[in-house]
Amino acid sequence: MRVLVVGGGAREHALGWKLLADDPSLDLISAPGNPGLAELGRCEAIAATDIAGLAALARREEVAFTIVGPEGPLDAGIVDHFRSNGLAVFGPSKAAARIETSKRFAKELMLAANVPTAGARTFTSVAAATAEAERLGAPVVIKASGLAAGKGVIVATSIAEAREAIESMLEGNVFGEAGHEVLVEEFMSGEEISVFALTDGTHVLPMIAAQDHKRIGEGDTGPNTGGMGAYAPVSIATGGIAAQTMDRVFLPTLAALRAAGSTFTGLLYAGLMLTREGQKVVEFNCRFGDPETEALLPLMATGLLEPMRAIANGDSIAGAPPIEWRAGAAVTTVVAAEGYPGSVRTGEEISLPPDEGGVMVFHAGTKRNVEGALVTAGGRVFAITALGDSLAAAQKLSASHASRVQFDGRQYRRDIGWRDLARQSDRA
pLDDT tens by residue, 284-310: 999 999 999 999 999 999 999 999 999
∠ Cα 202 208 210 (to 5°): 120
According to the model, what pLDDT value does residue 366 have?
A: 98
Averaged over 324-342, what is the pLDDT? 97
Report the alpha-carbon distance of residue 343 to residue 349 in Å, rounded. 18
Q: Where are the domains of the chain?
A: 2-91, 125-180, 191-312, 329-427
DSSP 275-305: ETTEEEEEEEESS--TTHHHHHGGGB-S-SH
Q: Do the domains 2-91 and 125-180 sit in the same CATH topology, yes or no?
A: no
**What superfamily would CATH give domain 191-312?**
ATP-grasp fold, B domain (3.30.470.20)
pLDDT tens by residue, 56-79: 999 999 999 999 999 999 999 999
**What superfamily would CATH give domain 125-180?**
ATP-grasp fold, A domain (3.30.1490.20)
Residues in the chain: 428
Report the alpha-carbon distance of residue 420 to residue 394 in Å, rounded. 12
Please check the confidence at residue 50 and state whether its pLDDT lies above 70. Answer: yes
Please check the confidence at residue 419 and state whether its pLDDT lies above 80. Answer: yes
Averaged over 416-426, what is the pLDDT? 91
Please check the confidence at residue 428 and state whether its pLDDT lies above 80. Answer: no
According to the model, what pLDDT value does residue 269 have?
A: 97
DSSP 318-342: TTPPPP-B-SSEEEEEEEE-TTTTS
Domain covering 2-91: architecture: 3-Layer(aba) Sandwich (3.40)
Res. 203 pLDDT band, cuts 50 70 90:
very high
Yes or no: say if 145 and 123 are a contact pair by the CB < 8 Å rule: no
Please check the confidence at residue 148 and state whether its pLDDT lies above 90. Answer: no
Q: Does domain 329-427 have CATH number 3.90.600.10?
A: yes
DSSP 36-51: HHHTTSEE----TT-H
Q: Which residue has the higher pLDDT, 155 or 364?
A: 364
pLDDT tens by residue, 350-400: 999 999 999 999 999 999 999 999 999 999 999 999 999 999 999 999 999
According to the model, what pLDDT value does residue 150 have?
A: 66
Yes or no: say if 94 and 74 are a contact pair by the CB < 8 Å rule: yes
